[in-house]
Amino acid sequence: MQKLTEIETSVSKLSDTEYAKFREWFWEHENERWDIQLEKDVTDKKLEGLANKAVIDFKQGKFKQL
């Protein structure tokens, strides 16, 4: 928890320009982590149940046109 407090303090001291660069870096970093987790979930077949349910629901007419 101490590291988090240090990070929060450091981020709060950034200039507007530095904060914008940090925000961009963090957004990219978060997206990379999301992609890695999604790939892992696909590999581990954690999404198959949801996909199968979606197909069944679709075949049963349980959907809305977008």
Separation of alpha carbons 47 and 38, rounded Å:
9
- Domain spans in the chain, listed from the N-terminal domain onward: 15-66
Which pair of structure tokens corresponds to residue 31?
């997206």
Give yes or no for a contact between 11 and 19, defined as CB atoms under 8 angstroms apart.
Answer: yes
Residue 65: what pLDDT? 87
Separation of alpha carbons 18 and 24, rounded Å:
10
Specify the pTM: 0.65
Give the CA angle between residues 4, 33, 21 to the nearest 5°.
65
Separation of alpha carbons 17 and 35, rounded Å:
27
Average pLDDT over residues 44-61: 94
